Chain A
Amino acid sequence: QKEVEQNSGPLSVPEGAIASLNCTYSDRGSQSFFWYRQYSGKSPELIMFIYSNGDKEDGRFTAQLNKASQYVSLLIRDSQPSDSATYLCAVPINSNSGYALNFGKGTSLLVTP
Chain B
Amino acid sequence: DTGVSQNPRHKITKRGQNVTFRCDPISEHNRLYWYRQTLGQGPEFLTYFQNEAQLEKSRLLSDRFSAERPKGSFSTLEIQRTEQGDSAMYLCASSTRQGVLNEQYFGPGTRLTVT
A80-113: CB near B (< 8 Å → 1, else 0) gives: 0000000010101100111111111110000000
**Residue B104 interfacial (CB < 8 Å):** yes
Question: B56 touching A98 by the CB < 8 A rule?
Answer: yes
Q: How many interface residues does A have (CB within 8 Å)?
A: 28
Of chain A, the residue at the smallest CB distance from B107 is A43
In the complex, chain B residues 24-59 whose Cβ is within 8 Å of any chain A Cβ? 31, 33, 35, 40-45, 48, 50, 55-56, 58
User: When the two chains form the complex, which single residue of A31, A45, A98 contacts B33, counting CB atoms closer than 8 Å?
Assistant: A98
B interface size (C-beta, 8 A): 29
Known: A96-B55, A98-B48, A100-B56. A106 touches B33 (CB 8 A): no
- A17 surroundings in chain B (CB, below 8 A): none
A31 and B99 alpha carbons, distance in the complex (Å): 10
Q: Does A10 sit at the interface, judged by CB under 8 A?
A: no
A100 and B101 in contact, given A44-B43, A44-B106, A105-B42 (Cβ under 8 angstroms): no
| Nearest 10 pairs of A and B residues by beta carbon | A103-B42, A32-B100, A99-B102, A100-B45, A98-B48, A43-B106, A31-B100, A97-B56, A43-B109, A92-B100
**Contacts beyond the supplied A44-B91, A100-B104: 17 A-B pairs with Cβ under 8 Å:** A32-B100, A32-B101, A34-B104, A92-B102, A97-B45, A97-B55, A97-B58, A98-B33, A98-B56, A100-B33, A100-B45, A101-B43, A101-B45, A101-B104, A102-B45, A103-B42, A105-B42
The 15 listed contacts between A and B (C-beta, < 8 Å) are: A36-B106, A42-B108, A43-B89, A46-B106, A51-B100, A88-B43, A93-B45, A97-B48, A98-B33, A100-B35, A100-B104, A101-B45, A101-B102, A103-B42, A106-B42
